[in-house]
Structure 1
Amino acid sequence: MLDAAMLQAARLTAANADRALEDAESTVRLGPLLAQQGQLDPDDAGALERFTLALLRAHPHVSWISYGSRTDHFVGAKRDDRGNVFVNHSFPVGERIRLVEDRIFPDGRREPVRRVDDHGYRPSQRPYFRTAAAKRDMVWTEPYEFYAGGGLGITCAAPLLDARGDVRGVFTVDFSLDRLAGTLQDLQVSKHGRVFIATGQGTILVSRRGSGASRVEVIDAELASATMQRATLEQQTTFEFEHQGTRYLGRAVPLSVGDLNWLVEVVVPERDYTQQIDAEARIALGLGILALVVAAAGGVAVARWIARPLRELADVARRIRHGQLDVTIAPRSRDEIGVLTRAMGDMVHALRDRDFIRETFGRYVSPELAERALRDRDALRLGGEVREVAMLMSDLRGFTELSERLGPAAMIDLLNRYLARMTPVIVECGGTIDEFIGDAIFVLFGAPFGGPNDAERAVRCAWAMHQALGVFNEENRADGLPELAMGIGLHLGPVVAGNIGSPERLKYGVVGPAVNMVARIQALTAGGEVLLSEELLARVSGLVTVSPGRLERVKGAREPVTVYCLLAVKDPA
């Protein structure tokens, strides 16, 4: 049990660290990816500013997101320890480097902060730039003294290569290792147990007090040094050692960060467990002697006293097994039966909470997504990841004019009836409703969970929505209400999917050029029309009938895009 608890703590810490580092890697790779696709111009300082600000706001744990070119032009967005956001531009002017730094308020206002004629910062000469340029791939720096809030920080850098394969510039993501300390705060292996992340040389990087804690906790530094004499960087290790007269049990799990090799270490004094065992042994011995004395005079009474609450617990257990969670369990003693009673009460409370969470979560996502998320905690990964997603966006035509004619109350009632009719159709097709945008609906197929038939489900969903709208309009005609006309756009492409927002409020969403493209395609539709992009049609060409493709120019795309009007969908086999 002890070894399992230590291993679980080490693995949990390593898994959370892996997720944080993978989030940084996927974020820093987005810049080169968009630049290579022509969606981001690395020579456009304004575009780089918008890009870095958007990523910084989407990742509240990140402190810096920047791009530095080989010509020493630099654009970055940073967040200080109070949450204020700044943009930083530096560029060569003759032999000097000029710095322009502004604070950006939430409403978009700018406030000048610094103007320096010779700032001296040259990205091409920085270690992160040279390392990424030499490797020509993503790299991690060694931990360093962090500028914001103290402690240690680390940088993930990804080079941008030109057509000849030369390094054009480097994108970076910086964050404080104190973010990883939050995970350790919730771990309680034992009363005096310690959990920390250390380098291969035994230097503590992160502990419960934050990064760089080895400067203030001498005992942790000594334990980390003793651990490194017995742990390896290649595999999980279990060991025992003595330090200053105290026996310790240890568990180490390797953690790789690029070319860096770290260890997650769990160290527990042996007495934390032996004291409890010894105390329980003394209690058991005393209870045993007492039981022998009492048994001679009151054996029958004791047996009945024990049997009655056990029978009551057995009856409650049978009711719980049949789904009756409205039972009330109140412990009437502090002995083992009382402990068992309290444990059963906690179990009933947890089952009620689980049913409530499943029911509440299911109001916002598909029932399958709610059930899978509750069963598998790793199913919804934190942070962003690049996924290929089929997207559906619908919008009502003439909605503004209809609102002015009907008035607010009647229009809200009509809109709610319309959304209530569309939602079951989308859920039945396996779609995840990302957002209601007024009278528009944005639906994902492939995020957060993907499948081989995402594109097919998106097409069938669009077709089913139009059929449902036809029935809805027949009911409106019978009630003397206006009919609605809906246009739907469908597209398939790569997006960055993940949690977006702030620590106080988060939502699952997707960002990227493909999201903009599905909105542009939807804007081309007329009432009653479904338009498919060429990318999505390639996945479902065998089960749909479409009109000849037509070229359309849309905002944000350099070349015209080809769209196809959906005419028919084959029935499922």
Structure 2
Amino acid sequence: MSRSHNNGGVIRVHFTFLIHRVNDDSDSRLPDRNCQYVKFSGLKKPALSLAAQYAATISLLVFISMGALTFMMVYNQIEENDRYINDFGRIITRQLAAASVEPLFANRPLELEVLISNFHFDNHISGAGIYRHDGQLLASKGELPPVHDIDFSLPVQSTAIEEQLTSKFTPYSILHISPIEFKGVTAGNVVIVFSTDIMNADFEARLGYILLASLFLVMVVIMASIYLGKKLSHPISTLASAAESLQTGKLYEIKERRNDEIGQLINIINMLGADLLQKSQVENTLHRFLNKDVASKVMHQLDPVHMEGEHVHATVLFADIVGFTTISENLEPDQVQRLLNEYFDYLNACARFFFGNIDKFIGDCVMVVFGAPKEDPQHPYHAIACAELMQKLMKKLNERRRAEGLYTIELRVGINSGNMLAGLLGARERMEYTVVGDAVNLASRLCSEAESGEIVIEESLYKTVNPKYPMEVDSLKKIRVRGKKQPVNIYRVSHIQHAMPVATDDLIKDILEHNAY
């Protein structure tokens, strides 16, 4: 035990926590038990919220629409520019050709020079010229392409005037050609050059305005879509929060009322919350009469389909107060009640520390089950260790009672392990969760064979536990058990080596402190 006390400072904190957890009267429940009635698969936070999805979808649709609208506007602007240049060029070229008929046929070149000199150039015209039918230039003004680049048979054509790009549009000239004719005879051609540089600059300016306006509208729509997305997703977000709260066992009532499909979902969530609260209250009530694990198991088996029991391998411990009849005869009924409640509370603390569940109280006897309803691979060891703790606790308690001049209490304990039936058993009107079987009956018989302060086990249990957790035992005797052909060897356990050092004195002190009446 010296080694145990060396670790007592660390272990005691753990013990204190466990005792608090065992005797917590607030009926606080763990999250996994809170959500057992509502079949949620686990709600995960979405990578992208519904509001963001709404906003992104609306923004994308608007962006595509604005892009298509901008494209159509730009395309129409280009078409409009082309129509303007073609119409304007055709008219101006024909007017100049008509004015050049008489001077050209009369062979008056000076008049052609004057005509060209007086020709008004606007911002779109970069050059004009009058050519004879053989391609000889008679009069010109501004920039003209080389004569070999001009095809006089085409009324409208384009030709590059620079190789270097001066903007994002390639600079080129549009040539408008009109023949100089009189009575079916063509004497020459008028060529007017329209430069695209200025047109491109105007077009780029207009395009910039269009893009800025489109960008502004897109930003406005994005902001509006974010607001609209939050507005539209708010009911869904409220439902998600309510479902998440139900998953963690918290009652969440949605106050909003609607007359649409969302309203129907709100009503369903509110009804689920009310049902969860009601079932939680039922479970909390069951916790006052049943072990929490048993209560949870019972709540799971409320469906008639699951009312049948299950075969489990578990260990049963019976602890009986020796000479209780004599003690009770010398006490008032309220004193007997107080005495039993006090001792049962101590025994329950011992059982909970070693993962045991109080199955029932039978008069002055307590029945503890290890390994059911919650599976415990170490249930044989835990049962024997629990029994040893109970006996040591009784010795410590009796020391105090002797000092106070009160009756001492002695326990006898019987333990057995084996296959048994566990589940809701009883009549239709009244059922309880318990275990039954030959192994349970033998545990009760072993308790009857034990003397005051003894722990009695069966031989097979000893052989199961002893290799891993060595025990100090005495072979008692062989007993005959109803239903078994061969007698059963039983042992009295004096001590068991624990899986880890246990500060038993500190543990007992904690139990007595936190369960004192």
TM-score tier after normalising by the smaller chain length: 0.3 to 0.5
From the CA coordinates, give the structure whose radius of gyration is larger: 2
TM-score, structure 2 as length reference: 0.46
Structure of higher RCO (CA pairs closer than 8 Å, 6+ residues apart): 2
Return the structure number with greater strand share.
1
